[in-house]
DNA sequence: CGTTAACTTGAATTTTGTCAATGCCTGTGG
DNA sequence: CCACAGGCATTGACAAAATTCAAGTTAACG
């Protein structure tokens, strides 16, 4: 994968601008802190599939979409990058996908050679990079399990929970999720059509699992049902115990 | 991912038993060459999801399936491991999936701590490990694109090509593919039902893309059509040129 | 051989995709 | 500030794809 979640998650964005110097040596994010911020307008492309993969980025604000165009012309969205995440980590000479700003974004850039030099010099950073890659691999696998083996409704539920966690840090009753991406983006990510995404969201709404404040603001209501639908948990222990007692 | 393809692919299996000593220092596979071979009967479990992840394995003969049981009891196959591949590479303390022998297998084992010590000591091995992880990540992504965005027929075609390449090293007209796994295994891997897998294979057969020698031996016939169906290539250049001229 | 499990095929149902129409935000210009 | 245009989201009717349920048929193994 080309994106690595920060261990800290959304907390990273709330972190004060001035951080202990030590961080620069002990976290991958620290490597970017001395770099200048660059801005990209919404809709702008940060890099194209096929461009030489010269740089590695940290997204400091905004949301990106990563996609590839399939041989038949269909656009497949590989994932979304949220503030705090690192992007472009690859050992290929070219980028294998296109990164596009969904919202206005700001990023910090580090040349790939510099990044790898810094990482391989540091005994603290090397294992971190490996651990991150493994974490990311696990995440991709989990995602694939949900998306591949479950229905449209389950995929949408899983997606909403995932966005909630990445943007607000939690997915509890009352959490308002800002969906910056369009329905088309969601569909191209989940391997569904726009219409099916709409209908699934509509169904979640009519069943009271979520509430909509316009098409791009979703409030989570029945988070247990959402999690079950998304295939994240078995039926609750207490519930099955009750069922057994009855 | 828990499996890393050997760079050499199937050639690794054909490699003479005696190899230059140098290899032991320059490839990840080399690390396993001094280890004793262990055998597992078909149907045996090598390790279970949740076991402490103490060892890393190289599969020297046979085929494994990797799977997890989803909360609703469904079995999701994450992938298959073929001879030559390395298995169990994770930075988690426990295995996150179950590895089961499909055929009789032989493996070599290395403790995780030993493996990581050897790798981190070697300037040659460290970048290899990173590169492998990235390659594997790309492979998982590609797979996801095909499986998520394409039909049952396309998934099956893609699967057959992939098995052909991993076992015979090529996917050309006349290649005979040995499918050691059951239809249920294939279905649980592709996110389809057994019946759909059967029907897709039947369709490929009736359209002349493949020939069956019993249910577990498949001969590739129209490899270009298979690749197009699998979404591996655009329509052939010459063809589109012709179409334009007409 | 005979038994059992695996594979294949068929028909009905459900889910998803396709095509088409309508409604609703949003931003721009009057 | 309002009107309007254009894009996006939603909904409906129908078609296609995949799943489910239910037989058969073939292959594997003792």
Is the pLDDT at A235 greater than 90? The verdict is: no
Name the nucleotide nearest A151; use CA and C1': C15
Residue of B73 and B239 predicted with greater confidence: B73
Provide the 3-class DSSP secondary structure of residue A181.
coil
Contacts of A243 (CB under 8 A, 6+ apart): none
Please count the other Cβ atoms lying within 10 Å of the Cβ belonging to residue B29: 22
B242 touches strand D (CB under 7 A): no
DSSP string of B72-96, one letter each residue: TS-EEEEEEE-TT-EE---SSSB-S
- Give the pLDDT of residue B43: 96
Q: Is A226 on the interface with B (CB under 8 A)?
A: no
Q: Is B134 on the interface with A (CB under 8 A)?
A: yes
Do B90 and A134 lie within an 8 Å CB cutoff?
Answer: yes
Out of A91, A141, A190, name the one closest to residue B140 (CB): A141
Alpha-carbon distance of A1 to A134, in angstroms, equals 10
Contacts of B132 (CB under 8 A, 6+ apart): B4, B5, B7, B28, B86
Do B149 and A190 lie within an 8 Å CB cutoff?
Answer: no
Is the pLDDT at B21 greater than 70? The verdict is: no
- Give the pLDDT of residue A26: 85
Chain B residues touching A190 at Cβ < 8 A = 148
- Give the pLDDT of residue B12: 47
The secondary structure of A205-227, three-state, reads HHCCCEEECCCCEEEECCHHHHH
CB A140 within 8 A of CB A212: no
CB B182 within 8 A of CB B196: no
The per-residue pLDDT for range B42-84, each reduced to its tens digit, is 999 999 999 999 999 999 999 999 999 999 999 999 999 999 9
The per-residue pLDDT for range A63-112, each reduced to its tens digit, is 999 999 999 999 999 999 999 999 998 889 999 999 999 999 999 999 99
Please count the other Cβ atoms lying within 10 Å of the Cβ belonging to residue A202: 11
Is the pLDDT at B237 greater than 80? The verdict is: no
The per-residue pLDDT for range B185-226, each reduced to its tens digit, is 999 999 999 999 999 999 999 999 999 999 999 999 999 999
A212 touches strand D (CB under 7 A): yes
- B146: nearest CA partner in chain A: A70
How far in angstroms lies nucleotide D28's C1' from the CA of residue B18?
38
The per-residue pLDDT for range A165-195, each reduced to its tens digit, is 999 999 999 999 999 999 999 999 999 999 9
- A143: nearest CA partner in chain B: B144
- Give the pLDDT of residue B7: 44
The per-residue pLDDT for range A119-166, each reduced to its tens digit, is 989 989 998 999 999 999 999 999 999 999 999 999 999 999 999 999
Do A144 and B140 lie within an 8 Å CB cutoff?
Answer: yes
The per-residue pLDDT for range A21-72, each reduced to its tens digit, is 555 568 999 999 999 999 999 999 999 999 999 999 999 999 999 999 999 9
* Strand D positions within 7 A of protein Cβ atoms: 8-13, 17-22, 27-28
Q: Is A69 on the interface with B (CB under 8 A)?
A: no
- Give the pLDDT of residue B180: 98
Alpha-carbon distance of A115 to A95, in angstroms, equals 16
The burial class, CB within 10 Å (0-12 / 13-18 / 19+), for A116 is middle
Do B71 and A231 lie within an 8 Å CB cutoff?
Answer: yes
β-strand A217-220 against B64-69: which pairing, if any?
Answer: unpaired
* pLDDT (mean) for A12-23: 50
């Amino acid at each position: 994968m080309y994106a690595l979640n920060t261990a800290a998650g959304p907390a990273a964005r709330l972190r004060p601008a001035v951080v202990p110097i030590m961080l620069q040596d002990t976290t991958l994010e620290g490597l970017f802190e001395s770099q200048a911020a660059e801005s990209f307008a919404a809709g702008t492309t940060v890099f194209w599939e096929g461009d030489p993969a010269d740089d590695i980025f940290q997204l400091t604000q905004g949301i990106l979409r990563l996609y590839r165009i399939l041989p038949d012309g269909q656009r497949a969205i590989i994932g979304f990058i949220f503030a705090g995440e690192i992007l472009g980590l690859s050992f290929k000479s070219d980028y294998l996908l296109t990164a596009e700003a969904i919202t206005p974004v700001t990023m910090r850039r580090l040349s790939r050679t510099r990044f790898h030099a810094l990482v391989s010099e540091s005994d603290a950073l090397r294992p971190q990079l490996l651990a991150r890659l493994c974490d990311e691999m696990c995440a991709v696998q989990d995602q694939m399990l949900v998306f591949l083996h479950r229905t449209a409704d389950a995929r949408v539920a899983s997606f909403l929970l995932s966005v909630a966690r990445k943007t607000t840090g939690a997915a509890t009753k009352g959490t308002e999720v800002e969906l910056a991406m369009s329905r088309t983006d969601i569909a191209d990510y989940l391997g569904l059509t726009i219409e099916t995404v709409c209908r699934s969201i509509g169904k979640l709404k009519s069943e009271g699992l979520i509430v909509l404040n316009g098409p791009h603001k979703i409030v989570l209501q029945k988070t247990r049902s959402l999690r079950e639908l998304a295939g994240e948990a078995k039926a609750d222990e207490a519930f099955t115990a009750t069922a057994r007692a009855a």
